[in-house]
Structure formats: C-alpha cells, structure tokens
Amino acid sequence: MAWCERILAAPIAREAQSDGRIRFWGTVPDFGGRIFRVVTLADGETVHNAFPDRDFKALLP
C-alpha cells in the first residue's frame, strides 16, 4: 500500500479512463525501479488495482 500512496502523491503520469477511473504511473525503487500502474476509482484516492506495467514506455510520446 505504501507504494500506491507514493505513486498517487507524485505520479510520473496520470490519465482518466472512460469509465471514470484514473490511472497513475510511478516508479518503485524497492522493486528495482520498475514502473507500476495504480488505478483508482473516480475519487482519485480509492485504489482499485495496482500492478507492474511493462507497456508504459509505449504510452510516452
């Protein structure tokens, strides 16, 4: 949960989904610096899901 809180506090990217949920991305130094995606409900605080996101680079311009 601490990883999620860190990512929500200072995401490297944020994106709203069509269903109202919000995606946040951030690095987790304790997990080898990998990128994690945290998905919250529309309130931007309630965590719905969190997982390593290997495809994040594809989202960068």
Structural domain boundaries enclosing 33: 2-59
Q: How far apart are CA 46 and CA 48, in angstroms?
A: 6
pLDDT band of residue 9 (cuts 50, 70, 90) is very high
Closest CA to 16 of 51, 49, 35, 41: 41
H or E element at residue 36: strand 34-40
pLDDT of residue 56: 84
Q: What pLDDT does residue 46 have? A: 97
**pLDDT reported for residue 33:** 87
pLDDT in tens, 11-61: 999 999 999 999 999 999 988 989 999 999 999 999 999 999 988 875 555
**In the chain, how many domains are there?**
1
CB–CB of 33/25 below 8 Å? Answer: no
